[in-house]
Structure 1
Amino acid sequence: MKKWEKEIIKTTIKCKAVHASIVLVASAILSSFDTSAEILLGSQTNALTRSILRWDVFHFLSRAMNSYGGWRSEHEIAFMPGIPLLMRGCGLVMAKIRDAHTLTLSDTLIASAFLANLISLLAPLELYRLTRVVYPHYTPAQAAAPALLMAACPPSPPSLLVPYTEAVYTPLALMTARMVAEGSWLTASLVAFAAASTRANGCLLAGFFLYEILIRPVLETRRLCFPPRIINVGSEHRLSRPTLSLTLPSQRIAFASLGTIASFAPLGYTQTEAYARLCPQAPFCTRTLPLAYSYVQGKYWDNGLLRYWNVSQIPNFLISLPVYVVGIVAICNPRITLRALPHYVLHTLTLILLLCFSNVQIALRFATALPPLWWWVAAHTDSRLARSFVAWSRLWGCVACVLWAAFLPPA
């Protein structure tokens, strides 16, 4: 492992230890605002298990305790099967180690939290590796700066400490993007499938395959001209594995199709299963596009176009405002090369979806999966906005740990 990779891992471990300590201490001292965890865990309740069992983990645990990790209630359709299956597997391994004959809640929670921490440890490391590929003219120190910032000040540390979607999706999504850019399309397809199995928006990873394999070769071949401030192709000649190595259109189409199918397959499966189990009785069955996902998101989480834009949600807008401000500034002041272009497109699309169609505070958790945000902050550490964002992230990260331990929003 190279020098900067070791430094990133060390920083990530140190920061995780600090955040985990805050959560555990707060969980031991504070009483839960909601006692659902204590009621469910019963005699298995302690500071550790209680601090893990919060918010979406309830839904994941419910599915994990099912024999095949499937959903029992329709609201659980909103959650992809990846995390529940991971939790169930971890619980079974722990039970095997303890020579137990039954799968317990505590075994499942503790073992899956341990694995989630190991996986999320890779997120800053993958951001570093991705930055090296996207901006090959960067020195190792320059490429490490965004990763070190992500490791030191994630806006939602608790979601990286427990079996949560962000803990698994973020490193896998970054890994997918890197592997696609490097030309490892088969492996990237497998990783994309795993990432999409944890978050529904993982289907958007298909865009990396379509762009890198089909679109970018056209842009390079035709030498399309872009404003110098936006597109800088000059540094890209240093990349050792150009997409154009696939000269046959049939090869490019085959790999692009494989990556797209892998990215959409988990969501497609869950929607097909939901349709088969709920239709024709469920209201969404008669819609032009009968998606159970959008139906349950709207019914149980009030998601939809601007449905979150009301007075009662002002606190959530204010809490997540720094992420949106820096995210938008990163778009307006980009460092876009042909390699970086798909990241900015996905970044923009994600912000629009979060701001207009979703619970806006989820941006706090999504921030670690938005490379352009960290690229901008690392490149503008001399600006007041970047320094303020780093200071806020560090402060809010600690506050979020306390709120998580007390079972208080934002989720």
Structure 2
Amino acid sequence: MAINKLAANSDYERIVIASAIASRILLLFLIVFWRSLVSPYDTSASLNPACLIDSSSSPLAGQPVLFPRIGSAIESSIVWDGVHFVRIAECGYEYEKSYAFLPLLPLCISFLSRTVLLPLVPVIGHRAVLGLSGYLINNIAFVLAARYLFRLSHIILKDAEAAMRASILFCFNPASIFYSSLYTESLYSLFSLGGLYHLMSGRNCVSALWLALSSCARSNGVLNAGYICFLSMHWACDALLLKKCFRRALQVLITGALNCVCIFAPFVVFQAYGYYNICSGRLPDEMRPWCKARVPLLYNFVQSHYWGVGFLRYFRFEQLPNFLLASPILSLAFFSIVHYGKSRPKLLLSVGFQATAEDRNSAAMLYFPERVPRPSMPRHMVASSSGLQGNQNLRRKKQIIGQDPAKLPVEDKTFNGSGYSSAFVIPFILHMGFMAATAIFVMHVQVATRFLSASPPLYWFASYVMVNPGRFKRWGYIIWAYSVAYILLGSLLFSNFYPFT
């Protein structure tokens, strides 16, 4: 029986990988299709002035190429933030505002263009190779991210079918265009989801390294340290209050703190790098304002000064269309949090400390890390063969008279060990709630569609909604319609340099 389950799980994972590849091929087709029909709003994407810092960074740049039309087509597809990432990969950080873009993607682009894809420079040109490198990196990273989401979801939900549904939803998520473009969403998703999978599998050190790479891709990667803090808090409580072992509690807290430092380190080092380049060695009158601050954070200054990011600064009437554009993803996040809160109010309000015995047994990694099994089989399959009987619970659906996702039925106690109401979901809910609040009150709100697109609870909740009988199925259709509409709209607008999220 266990062998059959493992085979089925492997089949589900292959379906997820195939869906991820198919979705990337679909996006590529849509981009080419729309660009052949619609004239770009801005045709300056192919302009590429010489590097200010080191114009000889690429000895082959500027030389004639064999297929200039192919190179020109690739260069013209480099739009929006992709222009900055390619420029940084080619020339380094030349301008103060460039430091809003963290270095992982530019470093990967530069490395690939100077190694594997270097022979293509005389064929299509240096900048086209940089763009092609970014496309390859991000699309491959997306496929791997979908795979890790399936494995993570399997551990959390303890249901391979639900994990597969959630992962397929991720493959066709509303922000899909950014995962196939020169943006950091794919790399961030890969390392954040991969890091969380390793964390929930008991590989804490490996997890810290992966999550550190996520903070090297996007600034919000530092928030992933919250997962380490959450688990460390519960483990220390278990050691101190239940086992009366102060030494073990102290060890857990110190280890958690070191892992958090590891996650914060790339972002802090990058800020120090910016300070050294812009502020170091200058007279006080020549320094930029942020250099003189008590805590000189270049990233915060650039976001505020150049892009107008700040608390409530986007709350203006003329920004109402952008709030409407972000309203679907924010509504989905809101309903998913409200439903979990209604299902498990004590568990959520106590941040997991008022857990039942069933919760503690089903979420052993959360409460009793020493009980996590170390089998020889792949870690993402541990939940289906560990003796827990939660896999069949999600199949026992109640007959529901539905109204809206926020009023989904409170689940029976037999559902509490697995599925969306699992105690495992708490840290993910807290993380997503904080990010959603940040998107609404601090950031450019339209960015919420891609900012929240790597949050697993969105797909877990949507997967849960879709399998409920009765009128709840209509919400599944609405979610799919929303994803398809944003994929079509995004591939049309974004690829032709029109504003989109």
- Segments of 4+ moved more than 6 angstroms: 221-224
Give the equivalent residue in structure 2 for 1:402.
Answer: 492
Task: Give the distance between the partners of 2:164 and 2:239, measured in 1 at CA.
Answer: 32
Contact 1:92 1:108 in 2 (8 A): no
Counterpart secondary structure, 1:339:
helix
For residues 7-41 of structure 1, give each alpha carbon's deviation from its aligned partner in whole angstroms, at most 9, with x where no partner exists.
00111111221111010121233221112213339
- Offset, 1:127: 1.4
Contact 1:27 1:47 in 2 (8 A): no
Counterpart secondary structure, 1:11:
helix
- Offset, 1:247: 8.1
Is 1:300 aligned to residue 306 of structure 2?
yes
- Offset, 1:220: 5.1
Superposed, 1:80-91 pairs within 5 Å as 80-91=102-113
Residues 1:207 and 1:159: Cα distance change in structure 2 (over 3 Å): same
For 1:270, give the aligned amino acid: F
Task: Give the distance between the partners of 1:316 and 1:3, measured in 2 at CA.
Answer: 40
Counterpart secondary structure, 2:497:
coil
Task: Give the distance between the partners of 1:312 and 1:386, measured in 2 at CA.
Answer: 32
Give the equivalent residue in structure 2 for 1:47.
Answer: 73
The correspondence for 2:163, drawn from 114, 129, 143, is 143
- Offset, 1:95: 4.7
- Offset, 1:255: 3.1
Task: Give the distance between the partners of 1:36 and 1:318, measured in 2 at CA.
Answer: 29
Give the equivalent residue in structure 2 for 1:18.
Answer: 26
The correspondence for 1:388, drawn from 458, 468, 478, is 478
Contact 2:240 2:248 in 1 (8 A): no
- Offset, 1:336: 4.5
Residues 1:102 and 1:24: Cα distance change in structure 2 (over 3 Å): closer
- Offset, 1:283: 1.3
Moved more, 275-284 or 120-129: 275-284
For residues 347-405 of structure 1, give each alpha carbon's deviation from its aligned partner in whole angstroms, at most 9, with x where no partner exists.
01100111111011111112331111111111011424443122111111111101122
- Offset, 1:162: 2.2
The percentage of aligned residue pairs carrying the same residue is 24
Contact 2:233 2:253 in 1 (8 A): no
The correspondence for 2:234, drawn from 208, 212, 216, is 216
For 1:399, give the aligned amino acid: L
Task: Give the distance between the partners of 1:124 and 1:13, measured in 2 at CA.
Answer: 10
Structure 1 residues without counterparts, runs of 5 or longer = 225-245
For residues 259-284 of structure 1, give each alpha carbon's deviation from its aligned partner in whole angstroms, at most 9, with x where no partner exists.
21221111101211222333351112
Task: Give the distance between the partners of 2:124 and 2:90, measured in 1 at CA.
Answer: 11
- Offset, 1:101: 12
Give the equivalent residue in structure 2 for 1:263.
Answer: 263
- Offset, 1:100: 5.3
Structure 2 residues without counterparts, runs of 5 or longer = 1-8, 50-61, 63-67, 341-419
Residues 1:101 and 1:85: Cα distance change in structure 2 (over 3 Å): farther
The correspondence for 1:59, drawn from 84, 102, 112, is 84
Residues 1:25 and 1:47: Cα distance change in structure 2 (over 3 Å): farther
For 2:207, give the aligned amino acid: A
Moved more, 272-281 or 19-28: 272-281
Superposed, 1:241-280 pairs within 5 Å as 248-249=248-249, 251-279=251-279, 280=284
Moved more, 381-390 or 214-223: 214-223
Moved more, 284-293 or 338-347: 284-293
Counterpart secondary structure, 2:436:
helix
Counterpart secondary structure, 1:307:
coil
Counterpart secondary structure, 2:47:
helix
Contact 1:95 1:103 in 2 (8 A): no
For 1:407, give the aligned amino acid: F
Moved more, 153-162 or 193-202: 153-162
Is 1:365 aligned to residue 450 of structure 2?
yes
For residues 182-237 of structure 1, give each alpha carbon's deviation from its aligned partner in whole angstroms, at most 9, with x where no partner exists.
1101111221121111101111111112222x21224556899xxxxxxxxxxxxx
TM-score (norm 2): 0.71
Superposed, 1:223-234 pairs within 5 Å as none
Task: Give the distance between the partners of 1:12 and 1:324, measured in 2 at CA.
Answer: 24
The correspondence for 1:180, drawn from 199, 208, 225, is 199
Give the equivalent residue in structure 1 for 2:99.
Answer: 77
Contact 2:72 2:128 in 1 (8 A): no
Counterpart secondary structure, 1:309:
coil
Residues 1:337 and 1:110: Cα distance change in structure 2 (over 3 Å): same
Moved more, 274-283 or 374-383: 274-283
- Offset, 1:305: 0.5
For 2:269, give the aligned amino acid: Y
Residues 1:201 and 1:398: Cα distance change in structure 2 (over 3 Å): same
Task: Give the distance between the partners of 1:247 and 1:369, measured in 2 at CA.
Answer: 37
Give the equivalent residue in structure 1 for 2:10.
Answer: 2
Task: Give the distance between the partners of 1:402 and 1:71, measured in 2 at CA.
Answer: 30
Counterpart secondary structure, 1:369:
coil
Task: Give the distance between the partners of 1:65 and 1:216, measured in 2 at CA.
Answer: 46
Residues 1:97 and 1:268: Cα distance change in structure 2 (over 3 Å): same
For 2:297, give the aligned amino acid: L
**Higher Rg of the two aligned structures:** 2
- Offset, 1:49: 3.5
- Offset, 1:150: 1.3
Counterpart secondary structure, 1:368:
coil
The correspondence for 2:147, drawn from 118, 125, 142, is 125
- Offset, 1:97: 3.3
Task: Give the distance between the partners of 2:308 and 2:119, measured in 1 at CA.
Answer: 42
For residues 287-331 of structure 1, give each alpha carbon's deviation from its aligned partner in whole angstroms, at most 9, with x where no partner exists.
343211111101111100011111222221111110000101111
